[in-house]
Amino acid sequence: MFDAKSPDELTPAMQRSRGAAMVSFSGSRLRGLRQSGSAKAILPRVAGDSEVVFLNTSGGLTGGDRLDYRTSLQEGARLVATTQAAERGYRSDAGVARVHVEHSVGAGCWLDWLPQETILFDRAKLHRETVIRLAPDAGCLMVEAVILGRTAMGETVSDLQFFDVRRIERAGKPIFLEPFLMNSDILANSAQAATLADGRAFATIVLCAHGAEDAVDAVRGVLDEPEVTGAASGFDGKCVIRLLAREGWPLRRQILRVMTILRRGAPAPRVWQI
């Protein structure tokens, strides 16, 4: 006898991506490397500071996916950490994609956390947390850029759930804390000046180090990229830059110019170079 099944029973369960990658350095020496699932850590041979390039081989994130990147620096290590390409948050019909990034920057160490853009598509659901823990005399540069859809493809984003927490601590105390929420209600009013003002690409850049506020004037001198609005402020060992643009390409050019100032002329990681 034919056994009829419901549509739910006929629909196969979708696979979910899981990935974790961790690297640790003591001075210029690699001390540990662990990777599993869709997360990989590539260690290119470069002159100067050590470099790690994180890679998500699943090709993007959707509901139920989990991704974890971590670094640990000791004994004066200096590291540039980035991602191989822009991370993509795709439509999610069920569940939320979650990303956790954690960096431990020990005494006398320095970290440049320079991930490439996060591109969010319509109906994406992504929760991300980035934590950088600094020793009292450690420092860091953090870049986070987000693009809503691909303008060149005529894509628009009207339905979204994006929650992003960025936290930098020094000696266990928060010195920069930014919980960021963007959802469908906010997008519906994005033309208001208090939100995106019709922008679809935005970034936050934070430099945390002794005397970081002294970089403000130099940064303001390069905030003139066409089609990008930017502002910089400096206070209490921090320099914070906000950028807003209608498209991702001019935003990327402006980020690269700011990075050149804050990194004292050092070239961007190869994967970033235009």
Digit-coded pLDDT (tens) for 213-232: 999 999 999 999 999 999 99
Q: Is the pLDDT of residue 249 over 60?
A: yes
Residue 163 lies in a domain: yes
Q: Is the pLDDT of residue 4 over 60?
A: no
Residue 257 lies in a domain: yes
DSSP single-letter state for residue 150? -
- When the pLDDT of each residue in the chain is averaged and rounded to a whole number, the result is 91
- Which pLDDT belongs to residue 14? 64
pLDDT confidence tier of residue 10, bands split at 50, 70 and 90:
very low
Q: Is the pLDDT of residue 20 over 70?
A: yes
- Which pLDDT belongs to residue 149? 86
Residue 122: which domain range? 92-272
Comparing C-alpha atoms, which of 123, 126, 181 is closest to residue 155?
123
pTM attached to this predicted model: 0.92
pLDDT confidence tier of residue 11, bands split at 50, 70 and 90:
very low
For the segment 112-136, what is each residue's pLDDT rounded down to a tens digit? 999 999 999 999 999 999 999 999 9
3-state secondary structure 44-79: CCCCCCEEEEEEECCCCECCCCEEEEEEEEECCCEE
User: What is the average per-residue pLDDT within 230-252?
Assistant: 96
Residue 69 lies in a domain: no
Number of domains in the chain: 1
Residue 82 lies in a domain: no
Q: Is the pLDDT of residue 54 over 70?
A: yes
Residue 114 lies in a domain: yes
Residue 207 lies in a domain: yes
Residue 161 lies in a domain: yes
Residue 138 lies in a domain: yes
